[in-house]
Structure 1
């Protein structure tokens, strides 16, 4: 079996298309809005009230018509989410010819990418895919991971980001940077956050700088 390749796509400011106006299209649009994409929805009708709301407030661009050849020009990716499998197949074929990433809602294997179940904790993103075993399996695994990776991970990763950024800004020598980063990841900050001990996490800028100076030469 050939495994799918996991990737994280930067969609911010990029034109992403959704062909379809129902609940599936709404879910695709919601995820892309969170990713900062420039969204265009093509559908004669918007059956989703949320899509209609976003069209009204200008959050998405809506072309009120059926899909036609040429609609994919300039797109970064496209979701074929109509209720007509033959139209979705046409969109997939056009996207493939143009080298555009395409997801096909009615038949995932006919597209070039699928959407995993996603668990987010601030900077942490955990994607769960089951290679055709079914969305319910992904949902069950996601629920299990939600207990393992609690809300404390958001504060923890924010702390690591601030520390890593400060180390990169303050320390020029690569060997010193590596040593400090190794020490950083050994700090027991996650447990302190879980206990609600905010004396050490998150640290203020002065304490971060002091820690770097104390550990720079050790």
Structure 2
């Protein structure tokens, strides 16, 4: 049994998986992965790092900035019964700071179920403004963390290995299918997107 093989209805002793820090449950399936395996999969996925956008915007915030949106009745209503909340504003009006304020507020109540993406045409990797980059970002948020890999992401990685495509990126279609499967195993959460006007394929995102 490899240390990344799904385990069902098994008794597992700590000494058997010395390189594993803990177990995570996704849809009733245990996936045990070593730190090296997780890092290998995340490196292969090569998702854009939107945490840097969040941190940059958050560092610019002053105390109380954006509090008005958190107190707004429409925001409170949306937070209790999530659907679509669309915020529009002119370029340079502070929407990114506002979105960052919202993300910070949501993370206080659901730290593991807030997924965000900043569409950024200034990104030197060219990924953050694309539909593909958006999919990669969400799959990285929902399919991998510091302790585990979601079975769907593990299977996508294994499929590429079996097909002799190690190191090759997954197709957009494969990413779409994987993300749909992952979301089917998640009970709920918040998805926050910034700067849709900087997305090169916005209609694909909102479909």
TM-score (normalised: structure 1): 0.22
Higher RCO, 1 vs 2 (CA within 8 Å, ≥6 residues apart): 2
Of Structure 1 and Structure 2, the greater strand share is in: 1
Larger CA Rg, structure 1 vs 2: 1
TM-score, normalising length from structure 2? 0.23
